Structure 1
Amino acid sequence: MRTGWAAVAEVDWSKLFHAYGMASDTPGHLRALVGDDEAARGAAVDHLWSAVIHQGTPWTVTPPAALVVAGLLPDPRTARPVTAGDGPEDMPLRALLLGFLTEVAEAAQPGVPEEELRAAAHPQGRELDVAALAERMFALEEGDEDDEDGDWDSAEDWDEEVAEAAIAGAVLALRAIAPALVESVAAHLDDRDPHVRHSASQAMAALTEITAPAGSP
């Protein structure tokens, strides 16, 4: 499996969502990571940590965003320091991106059985268009859509089962892309910057939890 923009060429970002809404804004943030605008780089890192992964929870945008981030790691521009949130100012962007991939790997819930995730992602007897439900929910929350017929209530339609289906589907997708992430992360285990080496080793340990064969030590 490829990483970087080539790996997500067919992705319709407008049908994906993160913690705060539909993910049409995510590609712009991903491009800003290696752009020349320092403030935009910081905002892009914040977007990864607060929206794409929110308190350890993955969303439908998380897997493709992780593939793009993995593809950006070799870019020399990721060696630049970046200021984001309350993080240290002298931290290389590459180390922060590897930290994001660590969060991504941990969000893949290695301890949860595959069959349990598949059952949650595809609840029996119920066809769910998660993307459409998410778009409608966010539109109603922002007051951008009228519900004149009174036939749609976000609290009822976007229920716990729908949320679990979205998250379970994201977890399954993260597990599927984990081998590609491993290859990208491994290339930075001997990086000359100690922050990057440390972040790479943490990411590799987290990814190994997903990719190691069952029963291996």
Structure 2
Amino acid sequence: MDDRTDDVDWSGLFHASGSAGDTPRRVAALLGDDAWASVDGYSHLWSATLRREGKAWPATAPTAMLVADLLDNPLLGLNDPSLPDAMLAYLYEVGAAADLGDRAAGIRAGVKDRAPELRAWNVEYLSADAEGRARMWQDGTGLGELVLDQAALACFDVVPVLLRRTLPYLASERVRRRTCAAAAVGSLARHPAASAQRSELLQQLTSIAQAADSSYDLATIVIAIGHLGGDTRPWLTDSHAGVRACAAQAPGLAGDDTAEHVLLELERSPQAFGKSFGDMAPPLQLQSQSFQDMLTGRRAS
């Protein structure tokens, strides 16, 4: 997989606001000293290049590659040490958007079959005004939905590179950076190309979890372990309700009596989960998906 982004035709891609021609400049501002431009770039990254449902726009995959480049740049976070953590959180979201399960081959075939139509739809979309773009999503051709599936497929295809670029941060000296890297790995390593690595990665995540010194970090890492099919049963009896809940929602524990008991307790008092982390936000993976949504998805799996 080629890591280069300098040959991307950004003007031929779109995000939530239209053409993505502005994305490289605005994301690069995160490395600069202009505070306003940095805030604008951060807002653009999260509000424009990711869909609200945690899914991808056509600009998402190449933007993720820019983010991976930012992570390795020593200028990132000089004025705000939390910025690298946020970039890892972004890569978590991209991994979630790229988690196609067994749909990748079908999407690839559909994209190939309708490639000329997709190109024409994309060109028309980029030249339309806001009202015209809104109409195109409901034009009855199904091309808009396939464009978005193609965007998810593009993310799927860059995940092996993103995972490789993320792995070094599991050994960061910063606790929160390790935690954010663990969350990112928990979504990126679900890719089929990472299947041979998964056992080793689970051992590494388990070691990080055992060294975690806050319930927030532990809960975040436990979710990542569950995402990769690891055994989260050791944390079902943790003294912290939030950690227990995050351990219990692991797909691999469906039908486990202890896990079901923990989740039933949470269903009786859903607010208890949020309150368990005090003034902190919920674990990273639940900031774009509520615990209730994740629980519903687990029940359906």
How far does residue 172 in structure 1 lie from its aligned partner after superposition? 1.4
Amino acid of the structure 1 residue aligned with 2:183: Q
Q: Provide the TM-score with structure 1 as the length reference.
A: 0.79
Q: Provide the TM-score with structure 2 as the length reference.
A: 0.58
1:116 aligns with 2:118: no
Given candidates 163, 184, 193, the residue that maps to 2:165 is 184
Identify, as 1 or 2, the structure richer in helix: 2
Offset from partner CA, 1:120-158 (integer Å, 9 cap, x none): 43455972224202213xx32279xxxxxxxx9944775
Partner of 1:85: none
Partner of 2:233: none
Structure 1 SS opposite 2:99 = coil
Given candidates 69, 85, 90, the residue that maps to 1:95 is 85
Which 5+ residue runs of structure 1 have no aligned equivalent? 83-90, 144-151
Partner of 1:69: 67
Partner of 1:146: none
Bigger relative contact order, structure 1 or 2 (CA pairs below 8 A, ≥6 apart) = 1
1:134 aligns with 2:131: no
Structure 2 SS opposite 1:54 = coil
Structure 2 SS opposite 1:79 = coil
Partner of 2:195: 213
Give matches, 1:22-171, under 5 Å.
22-55=19-52, 56-80=54-78, 82=80, 92-122=82-112, 127-129=117-119, 130-136=121-127, 139-141=128-130, 154-155=135-136, 159=140, 161-171=142-152
How far does residue 110 in structure 1 lie from its aligned partner after superposition? 3.2
State the distance in 2 between where 1:45 and 1:188 align. Answer: 21
State the distance in 2 between where 1:65 and 1:213 align. Answer: 25
Contact 2:85 2:180 in 1 (8 A): yes
State the distance in 1 between where 2:78 and 2:139 align. Answer: 41
Which 5+ residue runs of structure 2 have no aligned equivalent? 199-228, 230-301
Distance 1:123 1:39, change over 3 A: same
Distance 1:57 1:120, change over 3 A: farther
State the distance in 1 between where 2:158 and 2:88 align. Answer: 15
Contact 1:186 1:200 in 2 (8 A): yes
Matched-pair identity in %: 32
Structure 1 SS opposite 2:117 = coil
Structure 2 SS opposite 1:110 = coil
Report the RMSD for the aligned CA atoms in angstroms. 2.7
Amino acid of the structure 1 residue aligned with 2:64: A
Distance 1:133 1:81, change over 3 A: same
Given candidates 14, 34, 37, the residue that maps to 2:11 is 14
State the distance in 2 between where 1:178 and 1:167 align. Answer: 17
Contact 1:98 1:185 in 2 (8 A): yes
Offset from partner CA, 1:5-50 (integer Å, 9 cap, x none): xx11211111100011111110111210111112211211111111
State the distance in 1 between where 2:183 and 2:141 align. Answer: 32
Larger radius of gyration: 2
How far does residue 212 in structure 1 lie from its aligned partner after superposition? 3.0
Amino acid of the structure 2 residue aligned with 1:213: S
